Structure 1
Amino acid sequence: MLNKKIKLDFWNIVTFLIIIVFAIFLIYPLLSLFLDGFKDSKSGVWSLMNYIQFFSKKYYTSALVNSFKLTISVTVIAVLIGVPLAYFMSFYKIKGKGVLEVLFIISMMSPNFIGAYSWILLLGRNGSVTKFLEKVLGINMPSIYGFAGMLLVFSLKLYPFIYIYVSGALKKIDVALSEAAESLGCGGLKKVFTVIMPLITPTLVAAALLVFMNCMADFGTPALIGEGYRVMPTLVYSEFVGESGGSANFAACMATIMIIITALVFFLQKWYINTKSFTMSSIRPIQPKEPKGIFKVLIYIYIYMLAGLSIIPQAMVVYTSFKATKMQVFVDGFSLGSYKKVADKALAAVTNTYVFCFFAIVIIITLGMLIAYLTVRRRSVLTSAIDSIAMFPYIVPGSVLGITLLIAFNHQPLMLAGTAFIIIISLVIRRLAYTLRSSSAILYQISPSMEEAAVSLGDTPAKSFVKVTAKMMLPGVASGAILSWITIINELSSSVMLYTSKTKTMSVAIYNEVIRASYGPAAALASILTLTTVISLLVFFKVSGSKDVTM
């Protein structure tokens, strides 16, 4: 029995190789980050000084408090906006519902920093709306910069998460429950709060977590319009790359704190969902009815106003990309000058984005399909651990992941800092989750009998997987891969930590142009990125046959 050997078949080899990949590119970097947080930046000795410094100085703790203030406020507002929207769109017949849903999803999938940039163009110190109100009506608009501006940008960007998840939950409610409540005299708002809300609460908590995590981890928005309102992602960035004596060890300490916070929130949400969730079978789903009277007018105003506000960032960047510029200022008239500047000076960033993302998506599809097969078809403690490890980066802020990879691969024997390879690694690690989940979902629907038949006819396990299972998985894999593609082309938080002049991507180039107040080229680049996102989403809708972009 002691001499029993592990059978070295194809899937055991795949399992072993995936463990090695995760050990090198995820576990080792996270361990390096954690250990570096306990090193003194000057002497290099082990100590708790970094953590003592963080929690003893108000400058640092205030950033953590500010992050929670902003994140909780955004989450609450997103819930207050998204839940009524989902209720109205599910219970009432709304004209143009299909187009409205596409607009909501486009606004959600577009990068946060483009929203921040667009609102600067509208409500910044020299924004078009600001100048109009000041000259024509004599009204001085409140500043878009600081807490209020970030609250506006994040709320309008993230409430679609609540809308999409809650809409999905409402579709599973059987109309019999609503009718039973009404027959017992429970109608109107009382029915909503005593019957419907308890049924959708687990889903609402999951959606709220997504809003919380997106807001907590975002770097671009506070970097562009934060102006003095310090939050953790920008503080970690400034400490790591700071020109006035930044400390990588202290940045590692703060990054570790961020990971602990996001992990605690994630596991708390998971515990709540596991204890409170239940299944619903909607034999008779809710049938939308026609709203009437003043209520109909109010609903339409609410829904269409939200759609308009949500799509303003995309419309604004496209419009301003064709505006004529003189030096760095917009002037009267239209031209293609901004696009010519992009072609002359930023074409490499556009090319890098598509090339890096192409290689990243190929790796993501390959890993996603293999890991999904292991976790669904060859269940064990080891494959379950691989699945959990693969999903963990989903809760790690992008800026933190960037620092993690730099700390781990900024020296021999694996010197990757400054190369395209490290950016591709970050994109794969950050966005594998979408493709992995869609691959797992489609695999549950495929019977293993066809693959077993192929093996019985002489095919090897590897050949049967490629010839049979992989081909049958492709529709489900494709939908997840497109979502992964959309998120990686818009990635800023990790890329801004890792790029060099030769590996700059479009999102980084947009960020740099906005920082330099070069709004014309920024608008042109943002328009290219927005167009890519919209086309990718339309392809996703076609491939998946639905508008469900949840994981």
Structure 2
Amino acid sequence: MIQARKRFDVWTNLSLLIFIFYILFLALPLFTMLFKSFYNGTTGELSLAYFTKFFSKPYYLNALWNSMKVTVSVTLLAALIATPLAYIMSTVKIKGSSAIQILILISSMSAPFIGAYSWILLLGRSGVITRFMKDTLGIAMPDIYGFTGILVVLTLQMVPLIFMYVSGALKNVDQSLMEAAESMGYKGISKMRKVLLPLITPTLLAGGLLVFMRALADFGTPMLIGEGYKTVPVLIFTEFISEVGGDDGFAAAISVIVVLFATAIFLLQKFVANRKSYTMSALNPIEAKKKKGLGNIAAHIVIYTYTLLALLPQLYVIYTSFLKTSGRIFVKGYSLDSYRQAFDNIGDVIQNTFMLALSAIVIIILLAVLIAYVTVRRRNALTNTLDIFTMFPYIVPGSILGIALLITFNDKPLVLSGTAVIMVVAFVIRRLPYTIRSSAAILHQIHGGIEEAAISLGASQMKTFFKITLPMMLAGVVSGAILSWVTIITELSTSIILYTGKTRTMTVAIYTEVVRGNYGVAAALSAILTGITVISLLVFLRMTGKKEFTL
């Protein structure tokens, strides 16, 4: 009797409640979408008609191939750029390194489609750089649209993610290993390839997976800068939303194919990472040292050039937000007209963004703390299954989750479509893993004996958790919560599917203003969003006392 009572303690009940939440808002929508993909709305029978249609027409297969080409290219290019950058920052003393790391992080925290919009203003057919090169130097710039533009935008957006992962991993590499490699004749690139890369491979794969999934899910960038270079998220959106010829069953079938493809990549990454994992104890971690001569100059040039290039889109958007406009066209002179229009005409979207994001982040923090605790401290069949569920949002692109939620909760008994609730649920499901991951990581570093000692002195399990464990977890919780917050307020792929006139967010408003050609208001809203992001990161650094942000 005592064992049964112990087995069904408060943590088991909480685990069951969270498990039901995931069943209702993740498993059920995905299962409904799977059923919808096999259900023929015309005949009312189950069939493979939608899948046959997809694989029999080159148009649809080209979209899948385009997505694969983009995601693989972006992931490889981001890793090739980020790894040397992180190595230079970790081994060479760069002037203003703390500020540079924050700036690099800020460059990744805006919505990717804003980067696409910025590069159109800079390198589009009538872009500032394009006109300058043609009119002044007589040089015709290469086309920024299509695959090239998508690759440039997403790579610059994703490099900081791998940079943060690799920077964190390099702090756990012992300097003595590097010294031993040098004593054996390995220097420069050979030392990095033979010794350092194998040690950080699991971390590099983890960062690469995150980049791959985000590039695969991105909707706004190919829509704005693709110009006919159709990817799967764009195809799904078109099939689901289109009033003429749109078919939610076919959109569901494409979504199932994407989820299966993403799952295969995820499992492959896990398999390779497990085979390449190493255990290290960095008693003498790598430290940045002051260099002299050409090496020092080259290191500074590389870091400063990349940082400027990464920030250029956001800086130019902020600059254009202060330009005068005549209708929808920028003219000479400066004013705050774009900001006035932004607040007067669509000021409610700023309020919507904050209300939805705040609601989501409160739920995320609560769930993340509980999930991290039960999956780390209370491991059993239920919590192991819950741990697997929490990983699924990495695999499911935002537009697909949005479609799945709409299909599931569009009819009785639970009608959520068109409400703020369905958007909050989507944000929570999508961005919860960031806070879970950081909370669990710090919990692994807290010795369980501290809690056992408190319980042995008469404290209850819940009192021990709230008085002892939770305060020690706060740094990790805040770290993940800030990342979740920033990704929520810059979310587009889910919002564009779920929003209504009453729940429109800043990213949706920016996207629609860009599509309409109202660049002044779009720039003003983008600048406001960037400001919110910067403030969020500064608050995080202030609260944690850190000088940098690593994953």
TM range (shorter): over 0.9
**Alpha-carbon deviation of 1:206?**
1.9
1:97 corresponds to 2:106: no
State the distance in 2 between where 1:10 and 1:410 align: 34
User: Normalization by structure 2: what TM-score?
Assistant: 0.95
Partner of 1:316: 316
1:152 corresponds to 2:152: yes
Contact 1:41 1:250 (C-alpha < 8 Å) held by counterparts:
no
Partner of 2:65: 65
- How many residue pairs end up in the alignment? 550
Contact 1:483 1:540 (C-alpha < 8 Å) held by counterparts:
no
Query: What does 1:97-136 align with in structure 2 at a 5 Å threshold?
Result: 97-136=97-136
1:171/1:5 Cα in 2 relative to 1: closer, same or farther (>3 Å)?
A: closer
Query: What does 1:206-355 align with in structure 2 at a 5 Å threshold?
Result: 206-355=206-355
Structure 2 counterpart of 1:393, which letter? P
1:162/1:15 Cα in 2 relative to 1: closer, same or farther (>3 Å)?
A: closer
Identity %: 53
**Alpha-carbon deviation of 1:133?**
2.2
Structure 2 counterpart of 1:26, which letter? L
Structure 1 counterpart of 2:418, which letter? G
State the distance in 1 between where 2:243 and 2:142 align: 32
**Alpha-carbon deviation of 1:221?**
0.7
> What do the CA deviations read for 1:4-62 (whole angstroms, capped 9, x no partner)?
78865322321221122111111100101111111124323210011111111000000
Partner of 2:16: 16
1:201/1:456 Cα in 2 relative to 1: closer, same or farther (>3 Å)?
A: closer
Partner of 2:433: 433
**Alpha-carbon deviation of 1:183?**
2.2
1:223/1:8 Cα in 2 relative to 1: closer, same or farther (>3 Å)?
A: same
State the distance in 2 between where 1:442 and 1:314 align: 33
State the distance in 1 between where 2:472 and 2:283 align: 29
1:86 corresponds to 2:86: yes
**Alpha-carbon deviation of 1:466?**
3.7
The alignment partner of 1:332 has SS state of strand
Q: Which runs of 5+ in 2 are unaligned?
A: none
Partner of 2:376: 376
State the distance in 2 between where 1:283 and 1:470 align: 28
Pairwise CA RMSD: 2.1
1:178/1:15 Cα in 2 relative to 1: closer, same or farther (>3 Å)?
A: closer
Partner of 1:363: 363
**Alpha-carbon deviation of 1:140?**
2.6
State the distance in 2 between where 1:459 and 1:292 align: 58
The alignment partner of 2:332 has SS state of strand
The alignment partner of 1:37 has SS state of helix
Partner of 2:44: 44
State the distance in 2 between where 1:182 and 1:462 align: 52
Partner of 1:178: 178
Q: Which runs of 5+ in 1 are unaligned?
A: none
The alignment partner of 2:78 has SS state of helix
The alignment partner of 2:282 has SS state of coil
Partner of 1:403: 403
State the distance in 2 between where 1:386 and 1:517 align: 45
Partner of 1:492: 492
Structure 1 counterpart of 2:323, which letter? K
1:510/1:277 Cα in 2 relative to 1: closer, same or farther (>3 Å)?
A: same
1:280/1:473 Cα in 2 relative to 1: closer, same or farther (>3 Å)?
A: closer
**Alpha-carbon deviation of 1:458?**
6.5
Contact 1:479 1:543 (C-alpha < 8 Å) held by counterparts:
no
1:439/1:200 Cα in 2 relative to 1: closer, same or farther (>3 Å)?
A: closer
**Alpha-carbon deviation of 1:268?**
0.8
> What do the CA deviations read for 1:208-258 (whole angstroms, capped 9, x no partner)?
222211111111111111110011111110111013211000000111111
Partner of 2:163: 163
> What do the CA deviations read for 1:156-175 (whole angstroms, capped 9, x no partner)?
11112222222222232222
1:422 corresponds to 2:428: no
Contact 1:323 1:335 (C-alpha < 8 Å) held by counterparts:
yes
1:385/1:183 Cα in 2 relative to 1: closer, same or farther (>3 Å)?
A: same
Which has the higher mean CA deviation after the structures are superposed, 417-426 or 474-483? 474-483
State the distance in 2 between where 1:254 and 1:99 align: 43
Contact 2:98 2:547 (C-alpha < 8 Å) held by counterparts:
no
The alignment partner of 1:331 has SS state of strand
State the distance in 2 between where 1:198 and 1:22 align: 36
